Amino acid sequence: MTDTILTINPGSATIKLGVFALDRGRARVLGRATLDEATSKLRVQADETRAEHVLSPEASTPVLIQQAFACLADHLPMRGLKAIGQRVVHGGDHFAGPALIDDDVLAAIEALTSLAPLHQPKSIALIDTLRRLCPNVAQIACFDTAFHRTQPDIVRRFAIPRTLFDAGVKRFGFHGLSYQFIAAELERRRPDLARNRIVAAHLGAGASICALEGGVSRDTTMGFSTLDGVPMATRCGATDPGVLLHLMRARDMSVDALEHMLYHESGLLDLSGISAAARVLAESDAASADEALEIFAFRVAREAAALASTIGGIDALVFTGGIGEHQPDMRARICARLAWLGITCDADANKAGAFNIASPGARVAVLIIPANEEQAMADQCATILGAAGQSH
């Protein structure tokens, strides 16, 4: 019987699952699945096998998860399940790494709900569900914020009263699991770059950029919340706080209405007036679509340059996430704005989506590394199990 690890990565509309073999203390992927909660469809990929299962329509998330487990067992070894790793967006200052979930850890996660009101409740609900479904399997929380705990206070502080920093109002950073995977993948594929100065851009529906030095996080664009930094699909990115005060005072906008606008009615969607999807905008002839993409490229390039200043230069620019991996035009736009830093991309390599798309002889490597948060989570679980003497 194969010892396995299951990872669960909840998104806004889908839940990604991964099944990994625990092989001599390391996590080796066996298969992946995506559960679309809107359509109740589970898509499974295991080796050369691809399957789609239609689960109970309009079922609750706990029921869908239970059904998804049963379907996964048809394709992947689930009887030897040793641990379930769950992505939790916010770990605050309480968690600097993964944690074995017990009542105290769950209470600490729940206490952080006000810092991530749109993400934390879903994670908590999944934890409760899986503790009931699999009471004898280790549950491990993998935090998106933990990777950024290496950032110094001069990066984490806002220029507001110091007492607020002590009360938890500070820059936390997110997408940490994605950046942790990039650091590990660079160590594996480009060890000559892994310890150098890296600016990594996770560009998708949610987007952020991170400066890594020596494989650890030194700065990132997301701050106290997942609204900060570059514009996203429907999120605003960095915005003058005076605008928010104006909307509340001059337009009598409530906190709830303001929150909804910033998270769901901003970004590419309302810049273009057409779509939140960069792919759709790239196919449009509308001037507003092109302008939205150009604003996105401009802001990504500007933030990338700012992060390079934090680490004293740049040796590699890494693209990841749905836009970063699959949209060569956006990569070209961003690189063109960073040419003054020695960042240029080869048109053919970029179009082909090669690993290194930098122009021949360019000083700065430009790499495409597909996002793999599930692998980072599985690796964390393997580490926890190894420390507990449960890895083989």
Concerning whether 315 is annotated as a catalytic residue, the answer is no
Rounded CA-CA distance 311/307 in Å is: 7
The single residue of 144, 228, 315, 379 carrying the catalytic annotation is: 144
For the CA atoms of 39, 119, 277, 337, what is the dihedral angle to 10 degrees? Answer: -160
- Residue whose pair of structure tokens reads 């989506």 in the numeric block: 353
CB–CB of 88/141 below 8 Å?
yes
Rounded CA-CA distance 96/141 in Å is: 11
Region of 98 (left: φ > 0; alpha: ψ -120 to 50; beta: rest) is beta
Exposure string of 164-203, with b = 16+ CB inside 10 Å and e = fewer, is eeeeeebbbbbbbbbbbbbbbbbeeebeebbbbbbbbbbb
Any idea which residues carry the catalytic annotation? 144
